[in-house]
Structure 1
Amino acid sequence: MVTALYAAILAALMIWLSIQVIKQRRKAQVKYADGGVDALTIARSAHSNAVDYVPITLILMALLEHNGAQFWMIHLSGIAFVVGRVLHAKGILADRLKGRVSGMKLTFAVMAALVVLNIVYLPFDRLW
């Protein structure tokens, strides 16, 4: 299953983002929430944004793969999504709006494409 490759890569990204949160918590000695510490708020934002977008996109990729789309479509979606997520995460952590915007545009483009492709590849003859 091709989607498993991208799930593993994105899980690694989410682990890395979690570590960024942990580092900021230790540095600021904050146990819960963000303690009003900007760097911790930023790290938590980067992590939570990934948590918002990664699962549904992986589900859409897996469904598209299951419904018989060509592997190049899954790979293209996966690569573009990973690039978008990395751009966004690095943009947030570096407080660079350009990276955040580029990352979200790519993220949304992949998600929208997956929505359309899932409808196109939906096995309508097996729905009823």
Structure 2
Amino acid sequence: MTPLSAAAVYIGINILLLFFLSFRVVGRRRSAKVSLGTGGDADLEIRTRAHANAAEYIPVTMIGLFVMTQFAAPLWVIHAVGGMFTTGRSLHAFGLSTTFLPARALGMVLTWLGMLAAGIGVIWLAVA
């Protein structure tokens, strides 16, 4: 496996996570008959925030992961950053969707660590 193919796996998983979260929002919108906003529906609010939170964090970090591959980051670095971030995003989505706060908190920490590692990695590889 090359660093690029490893990054592609993490990018693909995160795209599927966004799709799944989006699908949950649309399903709840249809059943609650809410076209715009959340209409005061607590479950729709939770689903919307879970999706929006993922949409806020995933794109920029996946771009960072891809850029790292273009600067020849080692495979283990791509797996460390991609794995940490993707695990974090999955845990956060699960925790926020089910109100299981330990998963949400750990997911956010792993998300931030993965994001931080991608940001530092891109800069490090660019100037090294």
Deviations 1:70-115 (A, max 9, x none): 0111112111111100100010110122111111100001111112
- Equivalent-residue separation in structure 2 for 1:24 and 1:121 (angstroms): 43
Structure 2 distance, partners of 1:103, 1:41, is 19
> Which position in structure 2 is the counterpart of 1:98?
102
Q: Could you tell me how far 1:123 is from its partner in structure 2?
A: 4.3
For the residues of structure 2 that align with 1:107 and 1:31, how far apart are their CA atoms? 30
1:9 paired residue among 4, 8, 13 = 13
Mark the runs of 5 or more structure 1 residues left unpaired by the alignment. Answer: none
Identity of aligned residues (%): 35
Q: 1:31-50 maps to which residues of 2 (within 5 A)?
A: 31-50=35-54
In structure 2, runs of 5+ residues without a counterpart are none
* Structure 2 CA distance for aligned equivalents of residues 79 and 113 of structure 1: 11
Greater shift in the superposed pair: 52-61 or 110-119: 110-119
Partner of 2:125: 121
Output the CA distance in 1 between the equivalents of 2:77 and 2:97.
Answer: 30
Deviations 1:15-49 (A, max 9, x none): 10011101211221111111110000000000000
Using structure 1 for the length normalisation, give the TM-score.
0.91
Alignment partners' CA distance in 2, 1:123 and 1:62: 17
Count of residue correspondences: 124
For the Cα contact (< 8 Å) 1:14–1:50, is it kept in 2? yes
Distance in 2, Cα, partners of 1:39 & 1:45: 10
Aligned residue among 13, 21, 25 for 2:25: 21
Structure 2 counterpart of 1:27, one-letter code:
S
Q: CA RMSD, aligned part only? A: 1.2
**Aligned structure 1 segments of 4 or more residues deviating by more than 3 angstroms:** none
Compute the TM-score of the two structures, normalised by the length of structure 2: 0.91
